[in-house]
A = this chain, B = another copy of it.
Amino acid sequence: MANGIGDSLLNRRSLLAGLAATAATAVAAGSAALPRSAVKSWDISTDVLIAGSGAAGICAAMEARKKGAQVLLIESLARFGGSSSMSGGVVYAGGGTALQKSLNVSDSVEQMYLFLSQAGAIHPPLDKIQLYCEESAAHFDWLVAQGIPYSEKLTQAKGLPMGDESLYFSGTELAWPARDMATPAPRGHVPGVPGMNGGRRLMEALLTNADALGVRLRAGVRADRLITESDGRIAGAMVTVDGEQLAIRVRRGIVLACGGFIQNREMLRQYAPQLFDCSVPWGNADDQGVGINMGIGVGAAALQMNQGFAIAPIYPPESVLSGIVVNASGQRFVSEDSYHGVLGDAIAYHQQGRAWLITDQHSSYDFHQDNFLPVAEGNGIGEIAVQLELPRGALQNTVAYYNLHAANGEDPLFRKSLSYLRPLQGPPYKAWDLSVKNAFFPAHTFGGLHTTIDGEVLNSFGEIIPGLYSAGRNTAGIPTAPYIASGLSVGDCTFFGRRAGGAAAAGHRS
């Protein structure tokens, strides 16, 4: 596969010094974008430029290429794949996908829509959710056609399959209150490869196909700023290669697919303070928000900037879900069998980043793990409460109430699934630190540019910015806080990435 700058760029190196100087002179501080008039000559041109080689960028590139456009895809890092290749590679799909049908799983577009529109954020982007639900089954067919291997195996176990199963409940569908909102169905579609390798496998297939389609893939090229015509249309982009600036002319459209900003501490502090405190920035080194800032620089609106996932992956093992999770008031606040993203959101966004998992002898972690450290241990709940410095009597009161009802198979507060519901009984009791700062608490950003369902970027007045497209975590998409299922982010990247690439290739809409 191509890697590095191609001939067309290298042959124009002699122009670089002059161009960089021109740009620096003509553009005063405060110009978040360059006017076309400041660009004396172009170093290279293409129909469509894609910035970013994660799932969104690669899918956009493929679709643009299929529409007959000449496509140049640039990646700032030395390797292609973006944060998608670090992910589990799960794609959330339903309403009767080929895999669901072959495994006799019943599902409908309606139930999927009810789940996605009601179980997560208030006022989520319904236009994108609806389209996604309607077309995710066809989108899954497309993924299969890319040669991504899916096994005809379903697992009921919670958590990303460590075997080769390809369908599972990847979200909070079975936990309350989600299960009362929509009929649960397994919708997590993951490449049938063992371990945490789904993302890499998915990206390998997509990258191979993009290359075969004739997408020009170039690594080590960083997008810096957009270049605008005086009428607002996007004319191209300034990029940096080996410390030197190049001007790329774009005839049809640019797709910003540079990912989120979980690695940019200053942006996190300003935009997403709750994520700033999470212990593990979950994204590759260049999730610096540059694509988001390039878009904002030309007047784009950015939405959901405070949102992201903050996950507390307490299971597996599922046995710990018979414990209880409490806040600094010693109260339960969420069903313990909620999906990692729902539990993590409750802690990071609504409990000031602090919580503990309280286990008894049977629900304790029964193997060594460093994700959640034990910070209290004792023969009685009172001892635990004292060690955690919880308000006097609060944890005891919580446990007494919980045990009373759990003994009858009931959890009035959060209706934990019966599979995990039983009284806490039998020392030693332990408390495990679930705080965002001390626990293994991965976080990723969901804020980004405001786009139409076709990836067209909208300005602050709701108007399309001609020539500018975006997809993936560079945009405000389907993933919102709380993150209710694995696969929504890569699903959104691949699905809306394809649409953005197709729209960019069509270009020059009125």
Contact = CB atoms under 8 A, between A and B. Distances in A.
A28 B460 contact: no
Contact of A460 (B29, B32, B410): B32
Contacts of A460: 32, 292-294, 296-297
Given A122-B274, A391-B412, A299 B269 contact: no
Across the A-B interface, give the 10 residue pairs with the lowest CB-CB distance, nearest first.
Answer: A31-B232, A391-B412, A32-B299, A296-B460, A123-B273, A293-B460, A32-B459, A30-B465, A28-B231, A35-B230
B297 A450 contact: no
Nearest to A29: B463
How many copies the complex holds: the figure is 2
Contact of A270 (B29, B303, B329): B303
Given A37-B230, A299-B298, A397-B397, A293 B450 contact: no
Interface string A390-401: 011110010001
Given A29-B464, A299-B299, A450 B121 contact: no
A333 B273 CA distance: 22
Contacts of A293: 301, 460-461
B401 A397 contact: yes
Contacts of A296: 296, 299-301, 459-460
Contacts of A273: 121-123
Contact of A392 (B32, B302, B412, B462): B412
Contacts of A230: 35, 37-38, 230
A64 B113 CA distance: 54
A179 interface: no
Given A122-B274, A331-B331, 18 more contacts: A28-B233, A28-B466, A29-B232, A30-B466, A32-B299, A32-B459, A32-B465, A123-B270, A270-B301, A293-B461, A296-B296, A296-B300, A299-B299, A329-B332, A329-B413, A350-B350, A392-B410, A392-B412
A277 interface: yes
Contacts of A302: 302
Interface in A328-372: 329-333, 349-350, 352
A50 interface: no
A305 interface: yes
A401 B393 contact: yes
Interface residues of A, number: 69
Given A273-B123, A299-B33, A232 B393 contact: no
Contacts of A28: 231-233, 466
A231 B38 CA distance: 9
Task: Say whether chain A's binding surface is mostly helix, strand, loop, or mixed.
Answer: loop
A199 to B, nearest CB: 29
Given A394-B401, A464-B29, A269 B232 contact: no
A277 B349 CA distance: 19
B459 A30 contact: yes
Contacts of A42: none
A128 interface: no
27 contacts: A26-B231, A28-B232, A29-B463, A30-B466, A31-B463, A32-B460, A32-B465, A33-B299, A35-B231, A37-B230, A38-B230, A123-B273, A123-B276, A230-B230, A270-B303, A271-B303, A292-B460, A293-B301, A297-B299, A306-B306, A329-B331, A329-B332, A329-B333, A392-B405, A393-B404, A394-B401, A397-B397
A181 interface: no
Given A35-B230, A233-B28, A460-B297, A413 B401 contact: no
